[in-house]
Structure 1
Amino acid sequence: MISKLDANDHYEIVNLIAEGGMGAVYKAKKVGAAGFEKTVAIKMMLDKLAGDRRNVDDFVGEAKLVANLIHENIVQIYDLAQCPEGYYFVLEFVDGISLYDFIDFHLKIRRQLPLNLAVFIAARVARGLAYAHSRRDAAGRPLGIVHCDVCPHNVLINTEGVPKITDFGIARITTQAFAGRVSGKLAFMAPEQARREEVDFRSDIYSLGIVLFFMISGKMARDLSPSLTEILHNVRQNKLDWTQLPADLPGELVGMLKKMLADDPADRYSDTSLLAKDLEYFIYKDGYGPTIVTLANYMRELLPGRFGSAAPEETAPIDDLDRTMVLDRTIVLNDRELNQG
């Protein structure tokens, strides 16, 4: 727990929101003059990682990389600072629910997430990614930002129905090497990322394809029951179970998924904005379709009283695969573990 932040910043911790592989996230208030208050989120690196220089560099690097990404579908970072416990950064506070919890709730009550809303969410995430992928430096050169961990945990949906990508903790630019590690969630990882090959924006497109597959079917595209080594091998071989998709899924959408999930990055979309355009055409081609208001209203009806705080007393059991480490957590594998795979 954070004991004291920089006195000059005047942040008051409200409560712990979540704790992940790299850091803990807190809800906080920024207190200013004349009674000014602003709710923010504070991300602090975990104590057990603070002694590793590479972990510190990754943590600080996330703040620097995302600082100038200003888009409605990306969680904004406001500041990077230090306190006695180490570095922390201040983010936009998203009042809502993670996409993972949103899908999870549908599974618990055995209800299918509406197809048009699943595609809408994927389209908005694609727009946020397209923005990040297109960023350039001061000299006009492409930055080549790749998120590298696109998954339902890292998409938040606020109370207004706006999906937002968060956690660029293992993001990189395409000039960076993998430095002997595979980082990310195997359940959503692109084959080339698992093989420790060079990645670019098309790796994020692949991961978003797995997320869309999950939203549409309520099932994972990959078998997550074997050992970690076997799963890693299957990811590298791009083994996918297409039978998990609904039999009546429109062929147009199946075609988009197959393009997103192509083994060879060259066979995927050549630009993330083209993917967003195709997804949007699918839901708007008849002249109308879902908006953030549609999604917000659906969430209020499905999850009254703060999106999930009033969940049914009796819920159906969820497939054990949805609770495995490869789905819930980011993994880091070193060279020895990779060679064994």
Structure 2
Amino acid sequence: MSQPPSSPRPVRVFGNYEILSVLGKGGMAEVYRARVLSGPREGWTVALKRLQPALTRDPQSVALFIREAQLSKQLHHPNIVTVLDAGDLEGIYFIVMELVDGRDLGQILRRCKVRGIPLPLDFAVYLGKVLLEALAYAHTATTPQGEPLGMVHCDVSPSNLFISRVGEIKLGDFGVSRVLVDGKLQGGEVLGKPYYLSPESLLGEVNPAADLWAATVVLYELLTLERPFLGGSPDEVFAAIWSRQYRPLRELRPEVPEALEAVLDRAFSARPEERFPTAEEFAQALTPHYDERVGTPLAIAAVVRGLFGASDDVPSSSSSSSGGASPVPGGTGSRAG
């Protein structure tokens, strides 16, 4: 006896978007893979980020989410995830972003560590330089009226740097972290991932220097596959940060040139005034330390493909506290198949 045909999967629609799958959920937002149903981007696959329904009645959460949308929509840089749309539908606030079809840097570093394969030095330095160039743009971004946005990412970490299958590098999750901290501690707690906080961040200071310190931690990880500041608890990590207790770069990877180690040592200086004053100057200091022939989309895509293969099976993981998904999959021009 033949089986009755299975009923078609119900289509979930949110405004002009068909919900395809869950990418991640956090305390503040949930992120979905979605397809644009009509308009100039019809058929595009995007990331749809929605404020958790329970928070729509909380004025502070709504204000934070709207602030993120306002800030992020004003950032237009090839190495920053692009916000395509934002608004509210029947009281549910949402942000639509491009999907970076690939892996986040945290996944790449974990795979390298499991396999015992360090990233090529040129590749590692180039990624660090691109991250700093994205931060340099964000730190100096202005409104259409020319007023400084005062943007500080506050959550620079490997899980927020995405690398597409074609070698694009994108920094994501702007806005919420900066607004949550907003220049001071909230409720007596430090917000952000402990390993990437600067000594000044532990005091509640929020300025671009905090992003530069975090970028230095990411660069150290790129070069060594290890975090510089370790501990069994946040307090132990904070103590290591305060005292700048980290293993010298060349002790972990002897082939790192002394001049490159000196760049990182300067970025980790105890005195803030001795560090790089801007992300642009930090990026320029890295330029002599990589081969430009390696810093190409094709070369980057080849490294990632070598680590993961050509499989389209990209595991999804829980989102960060600001609701970003990891990975955040498709470029702006990515279309549904």
TM-score, scaled to structure 2: 0.82
1:276 corresponds to 2:290:
no
Q: What residue in structure 2 maps to residue 223 of structure 1?
A: 230
Q: 1:103 to 1:307 in 2, by over 3 A?
A: farther
1:301 aligns with 2:309: no
Tell me, yes or no, if the aligned pair for 1:174 and 1:200 is still in contact at 8 Å. Answer: no
State the alpha-carbon separation in 1 of the partners of residues 62 and 298 from structure 2.
39
User: What residue number does 2:201 align with?
Assistant: 193
Q: Deviations over 1:230-254 (max 9, x none)?
A: 3334334443333663233211111
Q: Output aligned runs, 1:44-83, within 5 Å.
A: 44-83=50-89
Deviation at 1:3, TM superposition (A): 6.2
- Separation (CA, whole Å) in 2 of partners of 1:61 and 1:125: 23
Match of 2:245 in 1: 239
Q: Which structure has the higher relative contact order (CA within 8 Å, separation 6+)?
A: 2
Alignment pair present for 1:110 and 2:101? no
Q: Relative to structure 1, is the Cα distance of residues 92 and 329 closer, same or farther in structure 2, using a 3 angstrom cutoff?
A: closer
Out of 88, 99, 122, the position equivalent to 1:93 is 99
Deviation by residue 1:17-57 (Cα, 9 ceiling, x = unmatched): 12234322111100116993111110122345444432322
Unaligned segments of structure 1, at least 5 residues: 311-327, 332-341
RMSD, aligned CA: 2.9
Tell me, what secondary structure is at the counterpart of 1:171? helix
Partner Cα separation in structure 1 for residue 311 and residue 77 of structure 2:
25
Unaligned runs of 5+ in 2: 1-10, 323-337
Q: Percent identity?
A: 27
Return the alpha-carbon distance in structure 2 between the equivalents of residues 26 and 81 of structure 1: 16
TM-score by length of 1: 0.81
Q: Distance in 2 between matches of 1:35 and 1:53?
A: 32
Residue 5 of structure 1 is matched in structure 2 by 14
Matched, 1:136 2:142: yes
CA-to-partner distance for each residue in 1:107-148, whole Å, 9 max, x for gaps?
A: 122211111111111111111111111112345343321100
1:99 Cα shift? Answer: 0.5
Which residue in the other structure is 2:327 paired with? none
The equivalent of 2:328 in structure 1 is: none
Residue 236 to residue 34, structure 1, CA distance change in 2 (3 Å): closer
